[in-house]
Amino acid sequence: MATLTPADTHAHDDHHGNYITCSKGIMSWLITLDHKRIGVMYVIATLASFLLGGLFALGIRTELIAPGETIMDAETYNRFFTLHGAIMTFLVIIPAIPGALGNFVLPIMLGAKDVAFPRLNLGSFYLWIIGAALTVYSMLQGGIDTGWTFYTPYSIEEGRQGVFWVGMGVFILGFSSIFTGLNFIVTVQRLRPPGMTWFKLPLFLWALYATAIIQVLATPVLGITMLLLAAERIMGIGIFDPALGGDPVLFQHFFWFYSHPAVYIMILPAMGIISELISVHCRREIFGYKMIAFSSVAIAFFSFLVWGHHMFTSGQSPLMNAIFSAITFSVAIPSAVKVFNWILTMYKGSISFTTPMLYALSFLVIFAIGGLTGLPLAVLSTDVQLHDTYFVVAHFHYVMMGSTLIAMIGGLHHWWPKITGRMYNERLGQIGAWIVFIGFNLTFFTQFMLGTKGMPRRYHDYQTGLGWSAETTELFHTYHFISTMGSYVMAVGFFLTAFYLLQSLVNGRKAPANPWGGASLEWECSSPPPHHNFDETPTPEYCYKFDHWVWNDEEQGYVRRDTAKS
Amino acid sequence: MTLTTLLLLASDQPGPIDTGNGFWFVPAATEYADTHDWVYSIVLWLSVFFFILIVGAIVKFAFDYRRRSNLEAAGSGPTHNIVLETVWTVVPLLLSAGLFLIGIDTYADFKTAPANCYEVDATAQKWVWQFDHRNGASDSLVLKVPVGRPTKVTLRSNDVLHSFFIPAFRVKQDVVPGRYGSVWFTPREPGIYQGHCTEYCGTGHSKMNFYVQAIPADEFDEVIAKDARWIDDYSGDRLVWAGARLFSRCASCHSLKAGERMTGPSMWDLHANWGKKKKVEVDGKLTEVTIDENYLLESIVAPWEKIVPTYLNQMPANFGDQLGPKELDALVRFVRQLDEVVDANGEIRDEPENATN
């Protein structure tokens, strides 16, 4: 099975120490082929992007705190929400879980020494860096005020050079995503050690595998779209621009044909993390393993067939709208099934309210709201009313931010001891999780009300005047004010989290090999793991049986029952 | 005088815009809107039920099965239950199917305009609407429609994507360049309703709002007939007040306050410097021009010719086609004599009674 073992690529490295101490110097990181180091670099890079995108978000919220121009004019505001959206989507939530956490834990959970193609893996990371650099460069070029969706013909008007550069950036980021997906597919297919059957795979790996399939199949469409945009712009071929005989709605089809599956590139790995967090921190075998695994694959399949639900008001034919509405409901089923499975996993568990578990519970509540508010958006007549209002903004933040990013941060806490070898301050972690949860709901739940009352999205202002009555402005002012306050609360939570995580690197307690009592393979190796992950090929067991790990006070962690007795 | 009061004066019927006390939508103003709200409340209460079920189970399990000691044995509960799993797959499936059917049923109502609608055209461009009635009456701020008779609005865009949205009617339709779109609605009561552009269209997107005024059917024809020849009531010195009315289609990009920067330059600043020289860019080169009637007229009909430094060349090029000579004259007079019409806050003053009116 292990025909592609990349062990020879590590031949020049030392054998002693863990993956952090085994070689030194900045170059040993920058040209590393070790999936763990690449994962750590992704963690740093995506969190830095998260900070940048978050600062744009705070700018947006501050502008909206009161009617009228508060801190920036309309042009600046439009750039802020465009960059917030583009950075958060393409630089943070798409790569964060597969690139950062996936890279670090996938091979270890699988029982492999590395991913199948370590050089390609490093290549993916540098493609990400180039794409990110182009995106940041585009900010200096100006004219990035199109929204992250780049809808034509607005985005192809003259004077928007920046759009070209951000398009190039997205094109290159797409390849980064494709290569990561390809690498994961081959790794899971080919590098499973003897005994690691498909139904012994941790559910996070099922989720990453399903994600990888979408990444490989859907992302090329994004590249094609960007090339068509470039062809239209440079050669003047009419594709999307009605002035040249093109059709702007065609662009929306292309865009969402990628970007809807991309929504599942974002949420599926998050669901995988939640399966791990809940079973481990409840120390209880996951309920309905096969249902969860198959529902990941089902979601991946359906994700290709629902893109048209972003376009119910675009003027596409009512028949198409009806078909897309029907298929959209079908995605709701596997998602609902997963939620029920996670909840039943808590039943008769031994639930510990550690920080990762609090994030997992946050996820369940937020994802429930995010999923249920998807229903009125799938029902055709109510979508017409809610489309392009704050209701949609709130809905996708509940799913993308409240679910994906919360799961990502939960996962980061779960594997933090493994990645860094240090324990963070548990008490601060729990406080941070609560602050983020409260801030998040304050920020975004009010936006559901704004949306149903008719506040359109991407509005710089809601001052009384042209088409805005004084009553409306007053009502929206209240909602916007609460929402902005919520965003500040959330920011406090995130900065607190950044503080204690960094602090743990300086003076955190040394982490035991298995602080939570997890039974998947990464908890078998030391924290941090050795350079080669495993000294001998591990013998995989079903990773959702926790009986053979027992608490040990001396270790302040869990040890195998057989070693504990001896 | 605010625009709302302008509207209130224009009709003796409507009161202030009602945002409603309800938690969710503004009050429904059409029968379709009632149907829509009924569908929404089905989805809402179903969601509330499932949310309580989910959160209730989480809270109960979290409390009942909390870990009391690190030494306690790993949890042990059922790992699958075929009956339960079938139920929670099939029940949501059936409920979804029901929601889907209700959704397309009401959507069909939304899509199917009744016969004998009152027909009106709406044209969107950055960042202003224009509503053209078949008798030639035209307005860029208020869409006047009859009460109790269905209105069908045919939508068109001159530049980029826009979207036509009237929350109180629960209707929305993207306005796509190169395609016609349409929406229909039948307001039940006389009144004023808000309308917005809901597809992002650039700098002035959030200024691209409008009002819908529903007028009792027996007065409607008369009002529209009068609107078609409104400018006939203005002549001579009073033309400046016609300019004030026409300015509504400029107001999403040009301020009347001193020094206020919007998408385009402030008209007050232009007025205050009337007769003086000013620097503008012609083909990218700085040159001087005198602020006078000709400069202003050219800037309306050929706005790309002379660009004020620090502003972008983004004013629509078609106002010259949309406005007749008398209307252009009225706008030029309006800016030239701005201080007669506008107070220090940039608000347009009350129009004096007209003897001929």
pLDDT tens sequence across A511-548 = 999 999 999 999 999 999 999 898 888 888 889 999 99
Q: Does B57 touch chain A (CB under 8 A)?
A: yes
Instruction: Assess whether B205 and B290 both reside in one domain.
Output: no
Smallest CA–CA distance from B63 into chain A, residue: A351
Task: State whether A517 and B74 contact (CB < 8 Å).
Answer: yes
Total number of domains in chain B: 3
CB nearest to B39's CB, from A346, A382, A471: A382
pLDDT for the residue numbered A513: 94
Measured between CA atoms, how close is A522 to chain B, in angstroms?
A: 19
Interface test with A, best of B104, B128, B193, B311 (most A CBs within 10 A): B104
pLDDT for the residue numbered B15: 47
- Give, in degrees to the nearest 5, the angle at Cα B234 between B228 and B237: 160
Region of residue B287 (phi > 0: left; psi between -120 and 50: alpha; otherwise: beta):
beta
Q: Phi then psi for B127, rounded to 5 degrees?
A: -130, 65
Q: Is residue A455 part of a domain?
A: yes
What is the rounded average pLDDT of the residues A55-64? 97
Two tokens at A308? 């048209």
Q: Which residues of A touch B79 (CB under 8 A)?
A: 285-289
Measured between CA atoms, how close is B144 to chain A, in angstroms?
A: 14
Q: Which residues of B touch A461 (CB under 8 A)?
A: 206-207
Q: Phi then psi for A501, rounded to 5 degrees?
A: -70, -45
Smallest CA–CA distance from A77 into chain B, residue: B203
pLDDT for the residue numbered B354: 58
Total number of domains in chain A: 1
What is the rounded average pLDDT of the residues A262-288? 95
Q: Phi then psi for B42, rounded to 5 degrees?
A: -60, -50
Q: Is residue B8 part of a domain?
A: no
pLDDT for the residue numbered A12: 42
A447 pLDDT above the threshold of 90: yes
Q: Is residue A87 part of a domain?
A: yes
- The share of chain B scoring above pLDDT 90, in percent, equals 65
Query: One-letter amino acid identity for B206?
Result: S
For residue A8, what pLDDT band results from cuts at 50, 70 and 90?
A: very low
Taking the C-alpha atoms of residue B260 and residue A8, their distance in angstroms, rounded to an integer, is 68
Interface test with B, best of A313, A317, A339, A398 (most B CBs within 10 A): A313
Two tokens at A57? 């978000």
CB nearest to B206's CB, from A248, A382, A461: A461
Q: Is residue A16 part of a domain?
A: no
Q: Does B150 touch chain A (CB under 8 A)?
A: no
Q: Do the Cβ atoms of A104 and A419 come closer than 8 Å?
A: yes
Interface test with A, best of B58, B176, B200, B262 (most A CBs within 10 A): B200
B159, B156, B123, B118: which is closest to B138 by C-alpha? B123
Instruction: Assess whether B239 and B337 both reside in one domain.
Output: yes
For residue B141, what pLDDT band results from cuts at 50, 70 and 90?
A: confident
What is the rounded average pLDDT of the residues B305-322? 87
Q: Does B136 touch chain A (CB under 8 A)?
A: no
Two tokens at A322? 């009806």
Q: Which residues of B touch A543 (CB under 8 A)?
A: none
Helix, strand and coil content of chain A, in percent to the nearest 5, comes to 70, 5, 30
- Boundary of a domain, candidates B170, B205, B228: B228
The per-residue pLDDT for range A362-415, each reduced to its tens digit, is 999 999 999 999 999 999 999 999 999 999 999 999 999 999 999 999 999 999
Q: Does B39 touch chain A (CB under 8 A)?
A: yes
Q: Which residues of B touch A243 (CB under 8 A)?
A: 177
What is the rounded average pLDDT of the residues A235-253? 90
Task: State whether A379 and B57 contact (CB < 8 Å).
Answer: no
Interface test with A, best of B26, B51, B170, B174 (most A CBs within 10 A): B174
Instruction: Assess whether B252 and B333 both reside in one domain.
Output: yes
Instruction: Assess whether B293 and B332 both reside in one domain.
Output: yes
Two tokens at A541? 């067991």
The per-residue pLDDT for range B40-98, each reduced to its tens digit, is 999 999 999 999 999 999 999 999 999 999 888 888 889 889 999 999 999 999 999 99
Q: Does B209 touch chain A (CB under 8 A)?
A: yes
For residue B252, what pLDDT band results from cuts at 50, 70 and 90?
A: confident
Q: Which residues of A touch B23 (CB under 8 A)?
A: 449
Helix, strand and coil content of chain B, in percent to the nearest 5, comes to 40, 20, 40
- Boundary of a domain, candidates B188, B208, B228: B228
- Please state, rounded to an integer, the average pLDDT across all residues of chain A: 92
Q: Is residue B69 part of a domain?
A: no
How far the first Cα of chain B sits from its last, in Å, is 20
Q: Domain residues for B200?
A: 118-228
Taking the C-alpha atoms of residue A341 and residue A349, their distance in angstroms, rounded to an integer, is 13
CATH code, domain carrying A528: 1.20.210.10
Instruction: Assess whether B223 and B237 both reside in one domain.
Output: no
Instruction: Assess whether B330 and B253 both reside in one domain.
Output: yes
Task: State whether B36 and A382 contact (CB < 8 Å).
Answer: yes
- The share of chain A scoring above pLDDT 70, in percent, equals 96
Q: Is residue A27 part of a domain?
A: no
The per-residue pLDDT for range A89-126, each reduced to its tens digit, is 999 999 999 999 999 999 999 999 999 999 999 999 99
- Tokens 């409603």 found at: B20
Return the minimum-mean-pLDDT range out of A14-18, A492-496, B286-290: A14-18
Q: Is residue A19 part of a domain?
A: no
Tell me how far CA of residue A426 lies from CA of A354, B67, B108, in angstroms.
7, 16, 55
Instruction: Assess whether B235 and B331 both reside in one domain.
Output: yes
Taking the C-alpha atoms of residue A185 and residue B234, their distance in angstroms, rounded to an integer, is 75
Q: What are residue A477's DSSP bridge partners? A: none
- The share of chain A scoring above pLDDT 90, in percent, equals 79
The per-residue pLDDT for range A491-513, each reduced to its tens digit, is 999 999 999 999 999 999 999 99
- Please state, rounded to an integer, the average pLDDT across all residues of chain B: 89
Q: Is residue B150 part of a domain?
A: yes
What is the rounded average pLDDT of the residues B225-246? 88
CATH code, domain carrying B249: 1.10.760.10
Q: Which residues of B touch A546 (CB under 8 A)?
A: 74-75
Tell me how far CA of residue B238 lies from CA of A503, B5, B145, B241, in angstroms.
73, 21, 28, 6
CATH code, domain carrying B160: 2.60.40.420
Q: Is residue B356 part of a domain?
A: no
Q: What interface predicted TM-score (ipTM) does this complex get?
A: 0.92
pLDDT for the residue numbered B4: 42
Taking the C-alpha atoms of residue B128 and residue B207, their distance in angstroms, rounded to an integer, is 8
Instruction: Assess whether B236 and B274 both reside in one domain.
Output: yes
Task: State whether A368 and B55 contact (CB < 8 Å).
Answer: yes
Q: Which residues of A touch B106 (CB under 8 A)?
A: 380-381
CB atoms within 10 A of CB A252: 25
Q: Do the Cβ atoms of B1 and B350 come closer than 8 Å?
A: yes
CB nearest to B25's CB, from A339, A383, A453: A453
For residue A7, what pLDDT band results from cuts at 50, 70 and 90?
A: very low
Smallest CA–CA distance from A326 into chain B, residue: B100
CB nearest to A449's CB, from B23, B204, B211: B23
pLDDT for the residue numbered B231: 86
Q: In what order do the strands lie in the sheet with B142-146?
A: B142-146, B209-215, B191-197, B162-166, B171-175
Q: Does B71 touch chain A (CB under 8 A)?
A: yes
CB nearest to A469's CB, from B16, B25, B174: B16
Instruction: Assess whether B313 and B328 both reside in one domain.
Output: yes
Instruction: Assess whether B179 and B210 both reside in one domain.
Output: yes
Q: Which of residues 290-309 of B touch A (CB under 8 A)?
A: none
Q: Which residues of A touch B251 (CB under 8 A)?
A: 466
Q: Domain residues for A477?
A: 6-11+33-565
Residue A12, exposed/middle/buried by CB under 10 A (0-12, 13-18, 19+)?
exposed
pLDDT for the residue numbered B19: 79
Instruction: Assess whether B265 and B200 both reside in one domain.
Output: no
Taking the C-alpha atoms of residue A544 and residue A226, their distance in angstroms, rounded to an integer, is 43
Instruction: Assess whether B213 and B246 both reside in one domain.
Output: no
